[in-house]
Structure 1
Amino acid sequence: MVQEMARVCSAGAVWCAWLLGCTIALTAVPAHADENAAREAFLEGARHYEAGEYERAADAFERSYVERPVAVVLFNLAQALRFAGRPGEALRTFRQYLSDEADPGAARRAAVLAAIAELETETGELRIAVEGGAAFRVEVDGRVLTRLDVTQPFPLGVGDHQVTVHAAASEPTTQSVHIVAGQTARMRVALAAAGPRVWVGTDPTGARVWVDGEERGRSPVEVELEAGAHDLEVTFPGRASIARSLDLEAGEQLRLELTLGPEERLRDQWWLWAAVGGVALGALAVILAVTLPPDDPAPLDGTLPTVQALHWGSF
């Protein structure tokens, strides 16, 4: 491995010394799975660096550090970030290296301090103040900043940037910021509470999901709603529909797993037919009682003579 790292040392003696030093540090540990992944990512970063692919080199060195946070890897990462045109992240990474490396040695410390001094002329700082919550992720120009303490000012390269702040239970907020060398820009974020979200999954899938009488898609589907009361209904041909009353709070995340059983057909509802039959028999009995004359009818008054001895049974 050391021979392979020596092969990529065409970028200068200082870079070679640090690269080989990092390789020795990585090969001196037991070969566990995460350490193997760290080593492979480090070698990948070295190859990209040699090819002048500094963005890809930085990504690989970052993965190596995540797998196994060896302080010396930070120097290589900072170098790649520097040549990738990301001076703010390079400056922050050089500073972290000096903080994490217990004894870098006088010469190494001097080299890093010189790099820091140069980068400070190319950067300013950004301080983010969040009202109504705490940020947990920051993106600058579409790239997530790693290893970042968002409660403290952090360096950014001189110029204009699009900064997006993410916070729990809130919508992301994006603002444009202008960074001036040696100065601190401020970004104030008033978080807007995110609307509640309801994820609906069904068995079978493909059921139609209705909220407050409006179709919102077919399952599985995630629906963003306003806080408050809502009526949810899920329908599927040949299956019994399911209805739910929801009372949602701002930022709430609700997950529903629903099973739609077979639709109960009218002919299968024996209890309904029994009830209908009972009602019909009762109605028939009432009709017969009202329409059939009694066995001994009352005498008839009128022009006809009264026939008292006449019985219905004589006909």
Structure 2
Amino acid sequence: MGSSVASPAWARVWRSSSRRPRRLAPTVPGSGPPSTEFELGTDLVQKTKWAEALAAFERAQALRPHAVTLYNIGACQRAMGMYTVARETFERALARSAAEGKGELAASLADQTRTFVTEIEGLLARVKLDVRGAEGEPTSVTVDGRPLLARGPGEYVAGVRAPGLADAVPGRFTVAMNPGHHVLVVHREGAADGVIALDLRAGESSERIVDPARLPASIRVTSNLEAVVTINGKDAGPTPLDIQRPAGVYRIVLEREKFEPYSMSIDAKPGKPVKLHATLVPERVPITKRWWFWTGIGVVVAGAAVTTYALTRPDPVRPPLSGGGLGWTVPVQ
């Protein structure tokens, strides 16, 4: 397919794929001489050096923004097969021309821009995604390492945004992509990434279901001395212990003979490691369990009993005196 690029003079260039001449539109009307970068971009287009021409037009746009320069940028992107971003650029050119009120794009160039947008709509491949569990947990999607751009409810486009953090997406939506090979990654906290390799033809529509697998929690238990570990009352083995369990709350207890038991509750998150280190201390034997305690208690109790008896026993009653054969008694003062 041919590609029109606005140039500072009426010229003829050849598209490398078609080798057919195309008549170019004039440059920015009534805005003075074009910038050096703009002229450079036009010359590079004539040599079908699209990537270099694109860079030159982008520099020209940064120096002097104009709808015609945006059109040229979109034309280069289209020639390079960057259809999703070219559509965005063409739409920006039309919007700027209309907003300025002066019609920066000539009527013929505006018509050509709209024709390109319609053409690209038919070239884009579309994939309907059904991401299981996305409604309940934040889920993001990238295509070729780039986050998606939302164009409307349930409608996204790939290849437009710069690499970076991706926004949360709904459970079901459609993403438009350039034809060709792509790698789509579905990411959710606590789940294994869902990776889909796509080979898409121009205008193709397909559907994909992605169900990111929920990851188990990884639990590592260590201690200063070897001990037996129980998790929720079930024997899990000696320390050091590495074990995986479904996400959830667990009661972990470490026990060793003659040492105080160590216990702790953890909230294990999916896909997240939990590290627990226990310091066991010698068992503190209660005083009531020591032999000398009860021996001493026995001595004290026995002594207390003797003392109590001595203090509380009644005085003995003296028997009546006998006067012998004469019946005499002598009182003692």
Is the shorter-chain TM-score for this pair beyond 0.5, marking a shared fold?
no
Choose 1 or 2 for highest CA Rg: 2
Smaller-chain TM-score bracket: 0.3 to 0.5
The structure carrying a bigger helix percent of its residues is: 1
TM-score normalised to the size of structure 2? Answer: 0.43
TM-score normalised to the size of structure 1? Answer: 0.44
